[in-house]
Structure 1
Amino acid sequence: MLFLQLTFESFRFAWHALKSNLTRTILSLLGVTVGIFAIIAVFTIIDSLEKNIRDSMAFLGDKVIYVQKFPWVFGPNYPWWKYVNRPMPNVREFRFLERNLENRQGVAIFDFKSNVTFRSGNNSIEGSNVQGVSYDYSIVSEVPIEEGRYFSIQEVDAAREVAVIGFNIAESLFPNTDPIGKTFKIKGLPFKVIAVMEKQGSSIMGGPDYDNTSLIPYGAFSKMYTTRWSQPLIAVKGLETDEGLMELESEITGLMRSRRGLKPTQEDNFALNRPEMAGNAITSVFGVINFAGGFISFFSILVGGFGIANIMFVSVKERTNIIGIQKSLGAKNYFILFQFLFEAVFLCLLGGGVGILIVYLLTFIPLGSLEVILSFKNIMIGLGLSSIIGVLAGIIPAFVAARLDPVIAIRSK
């Protein structure tokens, strides 16, 4: 009860002091507002950028291991010369893994060809992509089908000319008509449309442009595009019960070494890559950026804190006589201390709240494919920093006010 009474009284004194010196209050608040705006804006932009990049990498899948020639190694000293002569994964190895792997949900092989022209009657679309996939591709990577169906296993095994097309391809080749069941040509070969994918839009990291991509069975793709320079990928989806995919990784390593006839003393001539490898690299990069941005922005809020400390010293000076009267009427030191400390915190919270509000309003400004979101965590960081700055800026002035002698304070003008 006493705490609530002290809070109410302190709030009343603080509000009266702010109203009586409105211009000075606004100028003091500007420092904290700019400081909190700077630091929360930096955190918000960085967090939003990281989230958008991670969302853009969702196409890599969850609990997936990619069998490839080159490892996903991030850094300036990439030893490419160690990997350039490795053999590429191939269909025979895919079939071998498909037959023998036990700790998996699905195994898929897929390859990609860009800058392809699709034609249907008088309509055509250039610069599109065609991707050959095996049946389990929908298990390894989500295929966002809006209309129609995915390939049947018979269609994939028989390498039939059927296709799942992207939204832009459907709009260009079959305007104002239902594309399901229609045919279009890739390199002169007719393909029947069995599904249209959902419109995806652009993403900050690129990834597969499904709007301009046509999925076809891998066998049909390999008849048109497979060469000695082809670089197919083998992807394996692990079991949910396989924590960290350790069992799956060990099984793939053993099978691939056996298939390629590697001796125990020989190094692996293949790479097992995981999406979390890219995720960890992103986390470390953005961790450094977050620290650097926060450190620089901290100086802005520090300047605002000095402004609040200055106004609190002036406030103590102006209200010395009132402090003396309060003490003579029985006010304890902690009441005076709490009164000025609360005023400093209230000032900083008010300024910080305005800064956070400005950041929130800026999130409505469109920035292309970057979606800026002010998270609850950053709001709490802003309010927490405002409170800390308020305490640090107000503790010394409040302590000075609390230690004033009531007789001397009353005599002051």
Structure 2
Amino acid sequence: MKFIRQTFESFRFAWQALQSNLTRTILSLLGVTVGIFAIVAVFTIVDSLERNIRESLSSIGDKVIYVQKWPWGFGGEYQWWKYFQWPNPSYNEYKYLYDNLESASAVAIMDFKGATTVKNGSNSMEALIQGVSFEYNEISDVPVETGRYFSPIETDASRNVAIIGYEIGQTLFPNQDAVGKEFKLAGNRFTVIGVQERKGESLLDFGGNPDTKCIIPYGAFAKLFQSGRPDPDIVVKGYENDEGMMELEAEVVGLMRSRRGLKPRDENNFSLNRPEAAAQAISGLFVVLTVAGWVIGSFSILVGGFGIANIMFVSVKERTNLIGIQKSLGAKNYFILFQFLFEAVMLSLVGGLVGILLVYLLTFMPLGTLTVTMSAGNIVLGLGVASVIGVLSGIVPAMLAARMDPVIAIRAK
């Protein structure tokens, strides 16, 4: 009980010392403020970027493999001249995989046509057209707010029906329910059977922004836009118990090689692309940004730490006589040590809190489509770093004060 009371008294003395030298206190904590701001700001922005990109990647499917002509290039030499000669995936190959794959929970085919005008009377806008097979909603989430998803009959019969994005619905059918209404696409009438939930703008939209996307059956898409050389994507989704989708990938490779008549020594003439590969490549960039934040912040914190240590040495010198009086009245060494250690830690923590407050204010600034959110983990990190800097900056001056001879200290002027 006595120890707790004396510890509290040490804390009170430290607080009074900071209040009595307010100007010096403010100047001392600036270095820590800048350092904590730099570290927490970088971590907050990197976390927000990573979360935004991962959410965008999740929109193109989880545990899926894209069978495509072109590989996704992430570093290294991109041998486009070789990939250029490879054949495009075809609808027949999709049917072959659909009929024979045993390791897939779903198989779908899709294709895109960008910047296509959709019209309803005098209302029109440019939309991204996506043709999909029925199983597409098992590959990627299609959040239909009003209406419904395609039926197997509609996709198999290539009917002119569509699921439109929120913005398309608001533009073509203002102030009314779009479900059941007709609009024109490439000179053909399509009936709206569903409207997707509003997503809003995001930093990256893999597969296009759902708000400006019009999804139609793949057969209807092929009749309108695949008169030339079609280049669809075949997408296969694995089971949850297939770790790393190794079994699914091996089966897809075997079936595709068999379908294309490749000999054992021939290399694959198709690409298997995974969204997680893009996520890993992006994560590597985030690691570099995080390290840069630590380096920049560390220099500022180092300067702030030296500033606090210098101030603490000055405080010990100024209060040497008071230390001698306290020790002569029976104050223990830990009581003196805690006074100065608490003062250093409090000084550093106040600087850290100001830095964190500045980052919090940063989250209210408009940064385009990027939504910045400061997590509790980053707040704890900032306070933890500030506390460590405070301890390291104050421990030596505090130990010098605690070890003073009371007779010599009380005579100091």
TM-score by length of 2: 0.96
Q: Return the offset for 1:2.
A: 5.3
Does the residue aligned with 2:183 lie in a helix, a strand or coil?
strand
What pairs with 1:119-158 in structure 2 (closer than 5 Å)?
A: 119-125=119-125, 127-158=126-157
What pairs with 1:359-398 in structure 2 (closer than 5 Å)?
A: 359-398=359-398
Q: Return the offset for 1:304.
A: 1.2
- 2: CA distance between counterparts of 1:347 and 1:89? 65
Query: 1:338 is matched by which residue type in structure 2?
Result: F
- 2: CA distance between counterparts of 1:10 and 1:80? 70
Q: Are residue 214 (structure 1) and residue 226 (structure 2) matched? A: no
| Partner residue, 2:53 | 53
| Partner residue, 1:19 | 19
Q: Return the offset for 1:338.
A: 2.5
Mean Cα deviation higher: 29-38 or 275-284 = 29-38
Query: 1:90 is matched by which residue type in structure 2?
Result: S
The percent of aligned pairs where both chains have the same amino acid is 63
- 2: CA distance between counterparts of 1:206 and 1:153? 28
| Partner residue, 2:279 | 279
- 1: CA distance between counterparts of 2:310 and 2:229? 70
Query: 1:144 is matched by which residue type in structure 2?
Result: P
- 2: CA distance between counterparts of 1:26 and 1:409? 28
Unaligned runs of 5+ in 1: none
Q: Is the 8 A contact 2:34 2:297 kept in 1?
A: no
- 1: CA distance between counterparts of 2:171 and 2:55? 27
Q: Are residue 194 (structure 1) and residue 193 (structure 2) matched? A: yes
Q: Return the offset for 1:3.
A: 4.9
Mean Cα deviation higher: 325-334 or 96-105 = 325-334
What pairs with 1:220-299 in structure 2 (closer than 5 Å)?
A: 220-299=220-299
- 1: CA distance between counterparts of 2:296 and 2:139? 42
Segments of 4+ moved more than 4 angstroms: none
Unaligned runs of 5+ in 2: none
Q: Is the 8 A contact 2:106 2:238 kept in 1?
A: yes
| Partner residue, 2:159 | 160
Does the residue aligned with 2:314 lie in a helix, a strand or coil?
helix
TM-score by length of 1: 0.96
Q: Is the 8 A contact 2:35 2:296 kept in 1?
A: no
| Partner residue, 1:205 | 204
Does the residue aligned with 1:203 lie in a helix, a strand or coil?
coil
- 1: CA distance between counterparts of 2:274 and 2:3? 55
Q: Is the 8 A contact 1:43 1:294 kept in 2?
A: no
Does the residue aligned with 2:387 lie in a helix, a strand or coil?
helix
Does the residue aligned with 1:108 lie in a helix, a strand or coil?
strand
Q: Return the offset for 1:35.
A: 1.9
Q: Is the 8 A contact 2:90 2:230 kept in 1?
A: no
- 1: CA distance between counterparts of 2:186 and 2:212? 16
| Partner residue, 1:44 | 44
Q: Is the 8 A contact 2:38 2:296 kept in 1?
A: no
Does the residue aligned with 2:104 lie in a helix, a strand or coil?
coil
Q: Is the 8 A contact 2:144 2:195 kept in 1?
A: yes
Does the residue aligned with 1:60 lie in a helix, a strand or coil?
coil
- 2: CA distance between counterparts of 1:182 and 1:156? 19
Q: Return the offset for 1:309.
A: 0.8
Query: 1:168 is matched by which residue type in structure 2?
Result: E
Query: 2:113 is matched by which residue type in structure 1?
Result: K
Does the residue aligned with 1:61 lie in a helix, a strand or coil?
coil
- 1: CA distance between counterparts of 2:228 and 2:69? 14
| Partner residue, 2:316 | 316
Q: Is the 8 A contact 1:348 1:390 kept in 2?
A: yes
Q: Is the 8 A contact 1:135 1:152 kept in 2?
A: yes
How many residue pairs match? The answer is 412
Q: Return the offset for 1:76.
A: 5.3
Q: Deviations over 1:285-316 (max 9, x none)?
A: 11011101220121111111111111101110
Mean Cα deviation higher: 330-339 or 195-204 = 330-339
Query: 1:175 is matched by which residue type in structure 2?
Result: P
Q: Return the offset for 1:329.
A: 2.5
| Partner residue, 1:305 | 305
Q: Return the offset for 1:390.
A: 0.5
Query: 2:190 is matched by which residue type in structure 1?
Result: F
- 2: CA distance between counterparts of 1:109 and 1:6? 73
| Partner residue, 1:88 | 88
Q: Return the offset for 1:232.
A: 0.7
- 2: CA distance between counterparts of 1:245 and 1:24? 61
